[in-house]
Structure 1
Amino acid sequence: MIRFGVIGTNFITESMIEAGQHVEHFELKAVYSRTEERAKEFAGKYGAELTFTSVEEMCGSEEVDAIYVASPNSFHAGQAITAMEHGKHVLCEKPIASNQREAARMIDVARTNHVLLMEAVKSTLMPGFVSIREQLHKIGTVRRFTGNFCKYSSRYDAYRDGTVLNAFNPDFSNGSLMDLGVYGVYPLVVLFGEPKSIKANGVRLASGVDGKGSILAEYEGLEAVITHSKINHSYAPSEIQGEEGVIMIPNISEPGNIKICYNDGSVDRLEEQNTHPPMYYELAEFVNLVQKGEIQSTVNSHKNTLIATQILQEARRQMGIKYPADEN
């Protein structure tokens, strides 16, 4: 069994634990929270034996093999590094860090301590995305990638009423790009690698984060357009446009119900088998890699993480978004 400790007692952690019930060799062992009351409440709900109010103590426990980091973005690097320096494997929520400097440091620590570090991007490990990679050749030379994820945040209601919650607070390295834009950036990098250049625009809110924005990425013979927002909805699908057809992706964050529309009017529906909760596939990948003694995934790899982080950082620079974490 791979015994997990979790940092973060939110709905994302709950989704991970529920997915873990379907993963062989997964065991929830420990819960960290800032308060003992919350740690015990969460641990009791999911059957974890141990609770901690110190990250250092949980990472030092001999009864924990791996740490799942689902805290606010600005805490990812410090907590993951603490875990890895104690010899723990780390599955870290996306985006893995506030900036490329932090991400590079995390990867260096993983390699030094020979532990697994993987960014928890679920979409690129789901069956739908695997099918996209396998059948991309069917649409011929790819000319455009569009990644669209615009979802009005319920927390924006509070923001409009004058209350700045974590989702719109730069102290936590948050905002639309980091929360939703990454879902367009990461699959782009996995499919096509590092772009030659990017151009970014966005709406900067008074709190100091972006509420929405777009990225235009240039490749040789290919352009990519990524749109993201936490202050308005969009129901438009994402697409990969080739010279022979188009792959249509209704939901870029959880790719499924994907089809190829060819130039001659015919349509193929990709064979997918999402037989488990969406987070199952990233967790199963992580557990499998730990058992094999690997320090990175071939899909959510260290290289892809560094490229994606650099794109996010450069996009923020062009939008004028700066976090306190960038100054450290």
Structure 2
Amino acid sequence: MKLAILGTGFIVKEGALPALREVPEIEVTAIFAREKSKGVADKLAVQYDIPKVYTDYDELLASQDVEFVYIGLTNSVHYEYAKKALLAGKHVIMEKPFASTAAEVRELVELALAKHLYIFEAVTLLHLPNFHAIKEKLAELGKITAVMANYSQYSSRYDRYLKGEVLPAFDPELSGGALYDINIYNLNFIIGLFGAPNDVSYTPNIGFNGIDTSGTLLLKYKDFTATALGAKDSESPCFITIQGEKGWLKVLGAPNALAAFEVSIHGSRAVTRYELNRYAHRMVHEFKEFAALYAAQDYAAMEAGLKVSQTVLETAEQARKDAGIVFGCDRQ
């Protein structure tokens, strides 16, 4: 798989490129940056032995040395860059969130399916061995009665936000905010296990520019309610608990990493701990899985993943609009 990296921000520098060093199945053949960030791209190209640096996206898409693009850009431009790649016949790996609206997701999915192209969403937790094991363990818990998720991480950009400096992570014009940035992991975990909720509501803490700096989701299912807290303005120990009539399961630590989980079944005092992830860098698993599905031409598995992506974005958009949070794309 020949992959071009789009972007030079944190998720590229600290996430994708270090992880891809451990994925020999994927060859990074190019990196794209806007003209103002070319210096950063040049340095990354030297550091990671990337043959080509582009500032012209059309030129990159015309290259025969690019099969896939990884979109690690600001949330608000995911749709634009993905659509252009698909129209050019390139496959896509989309950093989360998939897009800003459910309509954008539907259009991209329909376009990919019509052209029989691959489009993956890089939500780390869905591709971790621990997540696959949690799915298998659910049956042991019996009828599910409650789910609680807390992903609270004080943003490195929040102090600047408090001083009035709005960076993309807190900019509603760029589809930022806690729901789409951090609570999206909780949503993917819950929907990845239980499917679409029957109803959703969102109670956020709103900052001076109308963006959610933290907030709590309520997802109502037939037999239980799931609560999902995501915070960028405060922090606490992160966890997820799933309670059932026959036992409980607890994820230890941040939902995006799922580093470990514990299971206890009623009638036994034993608590069994599982740490099944194989790589220290959480993004290695997803890239290896994408490469394996592409090599096997397992299009059905890719389509199954897209159904989760669509449901998550539909739910997130409903929650966002329920709370009155307006993105720049809503006015277009």
Q: 2:315 aligns with which of 302, 308, 311?
A: 311
Cα pair 2:178 2:231 within 8 Å, conserved: yes
Cα pair 2:199 2:219 within 8 Å, conserved: yes
Q: Is residue 6 from structure 1 mapped to residue 5 from structure 2 by the alignment? A: yes
Cα pair 2:119 2:302 within 8 Å, conserved: no
Return closer, same or farther for 1:41/1:119 CA change in 2, 3 Å cut-off.
same
Cα pair 2:68 2:90 within 8 Å, conserved: yes
State how 1:51-62 maps to structure 2 within 5 Å: 51-62=53-64
Tell me which residue corresponds to 2:258. Answer: 255
- Distance in structure 2 (CA, Å) of the matches to 1:236 and 1:72: 25
CA deviations on 1:57-107 (whole Å, 9 max, x unpaired) are 212211111100010000000101111111111110110100101111110
Return closer, same or farther for 1:76/1:297 CA change in 2, 3 Å cut-off.
farther
State how 1:211-290 maps to structure 2 within 5 Å: 211-250=213-252, 251-264=254-267, 265-270=269-274, 272-290=276-294
Return closer, same or farther for 1:61/1:274 CA change in 2, 3 Å cut-off.
same
SS at match of 2:66: coil
SS at match of 2:295: helix
Cα pair 1:118 1:296 within 8 Å, conserved: no
Return closer, same or farther for 1:96/1:296 CA change in 2, 3 Å cut-off.
farther
State how 1:53-72 maps to structure 2 within 5 Å: 53-72=55-74
Deviates more, 1:265-274 or 1:233-242: 265-274
Return closer, same or farther for 1:160/1:273 CA change in 2, 3 Å cut-off.
closer
- Distance in structure 2 (CA, Å) of the matches to 1:55 and 1:177: 29
CA deviations on 1:21-43 (whole Å, 9 max, x unpaired) are 22232111101001233332221
SS at match of 2:182: helix
- Distance in structure 1 (CA, Å) of the matches to 2:73 and 2:300: 21
Q: Which amino acid aligns with 2:205?
A: V
Q: Is residue 85 from structure 1 mapped to residue 87 from structure 2 by the alignment? A: yes
State how 1:1-328 maps to structure 2 within 5 Å: 2-14=1-13, 15-35=15-35, 36-250=38-252, 251-264=254-267, 265-270=269-274, 272-295=276-299, 297=301, 301-328=305-332
Aligned-residue sequence identity (percent) comes to 28
Cα pair 2:118 2:302 within 8 Å, conserved: no
- Distance in structure 1 (CA, Å) of the matches to 2:187 and 2:92: 22
Query: How many aligned residue pairs are there?
Result: 327
Q: CA deviation at 1:326?
A: 2.1
Deviates more, 1:250-259 or 1:118-127: 250-259
Q: CA deviation at 1:182?
A: 0.4
Cα pair 1:125 1:299 within 8 Å, conserved: no
Deviates more, 1:225-234 or 1:35-44: 35-44
- Distance in structure 2 (CA, Å) of the matches to 1:193 and 1:223: 13
Q: TM-score, normalised on structure 2? A: 0.94
Cα pair 1:77 1:106 within 8 Å, conserved: yes
Cα pair 1:118 1:300 within 8 Å, conserved: no
Cα pair 2:30 2:51 within 8 Å, conserved: yes
SS at match of 2:287: helix
Q: CA deviation at 1:299?
A: 8.6
Structure 2 unmatched ranges of 5 or more: none
Deviates more, 1:106-115 or 1:38-47: 38-47
Deviates more, 1:47-56 or 1:273-282: 273-282
Deviates more, 1:271-280 or 1:219-228: 271-280
SS at match of 2:276: coil
Cα pair 1:190 1:299 within 8 Å, conserved: no
SS at match of 2:260: coil
CA deviations on 1:210-267 (whole Å, 9 max, x unpaired) are 0111111111112111101110102142111111111110121111221112333321
Q: CA deviation at 1:276?
A: 4.4
Return closer, same or farther for 1:31/1:276 CA change in 2, 3 Å cut-off.
same
SS at match of 1:12: helix
CA deviations on 1:151-206 (whole Å, 9 max, x unpaired) are 11121100111211111111210000000010100111111111111121111112
Structure 1 unmatched ranges of 5 or more: none
Q: TM-score, normalised on structure 1? A: 0.95
- Distance in structure 2 (CA, Å) of the matches to 1:70 and 1:11: 9
Deviates more, 1:268-277 or 1:165-174: 268-277
